[in-house]
Structure 1
Amino acid sequence: MPRMLDVSDAVRAEIGDEEADRLLAGENAPGSYDCTSCRTPGDSEQERTSTVLFIGDETAVLAFAHAGCLPSQVVQVTEEQLQGAVRSISGDAAHAGVPQADPAQAAPGQTGQSMPTQAPPEQAVLGVTSGLVLIAGELHPALVVEPTAPIARPGSFGTTGDDFLPLLIEQGFLPVAELSSVPPVLHGWSVLLAVGQLHAVLQPSVSGGQPVAWWQAHQPLQVTDSWRAAANKHQQVLLFAAPVGSIGRQPREDLLRDALDRAAVAGRLVAATLPLAGT
């Protein structure tokens, strides 16, 4: 039976016209599936379904999602994440979900470690904390990014100072004086949330190809059910960034909000709204 599948041009280019046509005809696509974003059941015979192709260095895994949760797209991930997904799934790996690993917590006040940033000679990593932020009477899913050390401009070896915020402003993030309104959408950037876990913050590729990871979790980070529900509702995530020492580890969302307010008043906060897993 034909499936109500969305197969983007990018996915079709990777899997080929023949395989894409077989999927649309229902030959290789499952009827029922667990959405790779919200993890609730879906049925490609009854509702629009997106094909999401995760590509590692040597392996590719095709996943399925509600079209309302994720668009059909190609996502570059590490081979380690992809192999972890294959190992954890029984049955046909071609119908596997997105990469999984033993999660590090990213609930309010808890921090996950990122890939190293370009900050010689001291190697800094980006700490990422998730939480719900109340703006204009509505709760919004947010990520708060704070480095563990000052960030130097690439190529500026031997210099002092912290260029973290100027570098982000050059990318389109805006300074925040107070948390009274949702920041503008920064097109080209996105937040990858899959299998109920946070995988990466993606930025545009300088070559104009598929987005690349600006921050990527060593292991997918667990978020709360309420955070994930808010992200699926709004289809976007607020990203706040502050220099080292501005926010700190906050054990509760109210304390995290207080720290954000203090950083904003001090002129040490930038922000943008990022689409959820958009390309």
Structure 2
Amino acid sequence: MPRLLDVSDDVRAEIGDDEADRLLAGENTPGGYDCTSCRTPGDAAQDRTSTVLFVGDETAVLAFAHAACLPSQVVQVAEDQLQGAVQAVTDAPAAPDLPTPAPGAEPAQGAAQAVLGVTSGLLLIAGELHPTLVIEPTGPISRPGAEANGGDDFLPLLREQGFTAVTELTEPPAVLPGWSVLLAMGQLHAVLQPGTGGAPSQVAWWQAHQPLVVTDGWRAAANKTHTVLVFAAPAGVIGRQPREDLLRDALDKAAVNGLLVAAAMPLAGT
């Protein structure tokens, strides 16, 4: 019996028409699967199901997700991250307390050589708790092609990509079209931006060295709003705050000093 399966055009282009047709006919699709996003059971014969293709430098892994959790898509990831994601299917760690600071792997597209640090937390804005990611590089980021002169173009580069300046945290930032936050297998994998130059529909702007664990509280808030707030500040402005109230204080100070930009992004996954 044909499966309730969605194979996007991007996934079809990667795996080929023959394989896509076999999947849609139910020949190569498992009846039961663990959703690559929420990690709960699914049944391709009964549940609307998406095919999600994780593509690394040398490896590609086809996974299945509830259609309500993830749309069918191709996700470009680093090879070591892909191997970590495969391992995480059967060996997911327990969630630590929020906030959860962890180093990132990729700078903003076109930015200079610097590692991004990401902290997840819950922030109270306009009377509602919002799942939040705070991104801060480990050092100054120069504009592509510019000579290193001690300047920092991190915020101008983000504003050029659609992030907006924040002067006070009284309301959530506007949604940035084409961007999203990827939560797969119950863990944070990447911040995705629109692809360019013939790339898939989205590519990773930031990737975790290893899938980043978020707590049930953070994920519950994200599932409620279906949106993640992403704040960014230059190196040394926010720091690794051990508590969410201290993180909020640091964000408020950065906003007052004109050193904070933000965007709201749809949540991909649960």
Q: TM-score, normalised by structure 2?
A: 0.89
Structure 2 residue 261 is the aligned partner of structure 1 residue 270: yes
Q: How does 1:26-37 map to 2 (within 5 A)?
A: 26-37=26-37
Residues 186, 13 of structure 1: alpha-carbon distance in 2 compared, 3 angstrom cutoff: same
Q: Give 1:85 shift.
A: 4.5
* SS of residue paired to 1:111: strand
The structure 2 residue matched to 1:247, chosen from 238, 247, 265, is 238
Q: How does 1:67-146 map to 2 (within 5 A)?
A: 67-86=67-86, 88=87, 108-115=98-105, 117=107, 124-146=114-136
Q: 2:104 and 2:242 mapped to 1: Cα distance?
A: 20
The structure 2 residue matched to 1:149, chosen from 125, 139, 155, is 139
Tell me the amino acid that sits aligned with residue 229 of structure 1: A
Structure 2 residue 193 is the aligned partner of structure 1 residue 203: yes
The structure 1 residue matched to 2:219, chosen from 224, 228, 234, is 228
Q: 1:101 and 1:268 mapped to 2: Cα distance?
A: 39
RMSD across aligned C-alpha pairs, in angstroms?
A: 2.5
Residues 28, 216 of structure 1: alpha-carbon distance in 2 compared, 3 angstrom cutoff: same
Q: 1:37 and 1:202 mapped to 2: Cα distance?
A: 15
* SS of residue paired to 1:255: helix
Report the more deviating stretch, 7-16 or 68-77.
7-16
- Residues 48-73 of structure 1 deviation map (CA, whole Å, 9 limit, x = unaligned): 11110111222221111111111000
* Number of residues of Structure 1 aligned to a counterpart in Structure 2: 266
**Kindly, what percent of the aligned residue pairs are identical?**
73
Q: 1:136 and 1:214 mapped to 2: Cα distance?
A: 28
Residues 105, 127 of structure 1: alpha-carbon distance in 2 compared, 3 angstrom cutoff: farther
Q: 2:194 and 2:266 mapped to 1: Cα distance?
A: 13
Matching residue of 2:7: 7
| Counterpart contact for 1:165–1:270, Cα < 8 Å | yes
* SS of residue paired to 1:251: coil
Structure 2 residue 159 is the aligned partner of structure 1 residue 169: yes
Report the more deviating stretch, 100-109 or 7-16.
100-109
Structure 2 residue 248 is the aligned partner of structure 1 residue 257: yes
Q: 1:101 and 1:258 mapped to 2: Cα distance?
A: 36
- Residues 31-86 of structure 1 deviation map (CA, whole Å, 9 limit, x = unaligned): 22211111122222222111101112222211111111110001111222333445
* SS of residue paired to 1:47: coil
Residues 137, 126 of structure 1: alpha-carbon distance in 2 compared, 3 angstrom cutoff: same
Tell me the amino acid that sits aligned with residue 19 of structure 1: E
Q: Give 1:107 shift.
A: 5.4
Q: Give 1:20 shift.
A: 1.8
Q: Give 1:25 shift.
A: 2.2
Q: 1:106 and 1:171 mapped to 2: Cα distance?
A: 32
| Counterpart contact for 1:133–1:257, Cα < 8 Å | yes
| Counterpart contact for 1:190–1:274, Cα < 8 Å | yes
Matching residue of 1:92: none
Gaps of 5+ in 2: none
Structure 2 residue 210 is the aligned partner of structure 1 residue 219: yes
Tell me the amino acid that sits aligned with residue 116 of structure 2: L
Gaps of 5+ in 1: 90-96
Q: 1:33 and 1:177 mapped to 2: Cα distance?
A: 46
